Structure 1
């Protein structure tokens, strides 16, 4: 399975279109549709090809279909889904809902996350990246202290 790796910042044109980074396109396997849903806990959008839908469908299949958790997850996965067509030049149009949720105006940060990627407003992504770096550094220090030798375990 191809993965979405790396990150890039691209400009939004006057028509609200943005180019998907070339490095992400192989993971879309030539597909002309992008599936995107608003992140629940970040001002970002989680996007990808059919594999993203499959992962979420597997999560739903593991849940009790009569539970409130299933209802909530299904609502967000299915009801909040933005289906975007990829044009011949690899561009998509960002919906008003996406722009409002992310704060995107004239630039987009694309961030690879393995089987999906995220779409961010670049400054918000930079702040989140700095927070993530600080958290990982803290986790590494805790792991190093816990291995009895005070050495970095390479995590």
Structure 2
């Protein structure tokens, strides 16, 4: 499981060092995809394969489902950690997430997310009240 917040820096070659505590779960490979809210999602390879197969089961006659499957598959980049625990983020992924140098890697339970540091700060400010009210009826049933 992925928990915590980390602040690695993106180097000039587009490489990002992933947190040491996450590397064991990613040792068999990983997949980077466009995530929600202009972040990147990083999944262990085996978990992503399950997710992708489940997504592909939706009816392709549904335009939103079809678009989701297409975007998920098209943005997928399979990778291996290098000896320093780094991955290389493609120019397309860096552009999608607005990544330049300062990044934030957060655990999101079954995967991790990579954010531009300023975007993550704005996101936290925008949704702080929602988190503070997390025990409201509409969210409490999910917890």
Q: TM range, normalised to the smaller chain?
A: 0.7 to 0.9
Q: Larger relative CO (CA 8 A, sep 6+): 1 or 2?
A: 2
| Residue 33 (structure 2) pairs with residue 37 (structure 1) | yes
Two-structure CA RMSD over aligned residues (Å): 1.9
In the alignment, does 2:106 pair up with 1:111?
yes
TM-score (norm 2): 0.83
Highest Rg: 1 or 2?
Answer: 1
Point out the more displaced range, 95-104 or 67-76.
67-76
In structure 1, the residue matched to 2:121 is 126
Aligned equivalents of 2:90 and 2:119: distance in 1?
19
The runs of 5 or more residues in structure 1 that have no matched partner are: 144-154
- TM-score, normalized by length of structure 1? 0.78
Matched, 1:54 2:50: yes
Partner of 1:147: none
- 1:10 equivalent in alignment to 2:8: yes
- Count of residues in Structure 1 that have an aligned counterpart in Structure 2: 137
Find the residue that maps to 2:37 and give its secondary structure.
Answer: coil
**Stretches (4+) displaced over 3 A:** none
Please tell me whether the aligned partners of residues 52 and 116 of structure 1 are also in contact (alpha carbons under 8 angstroms): no
Distance change in 2, residues 1:110/1:72 (3 Å): same
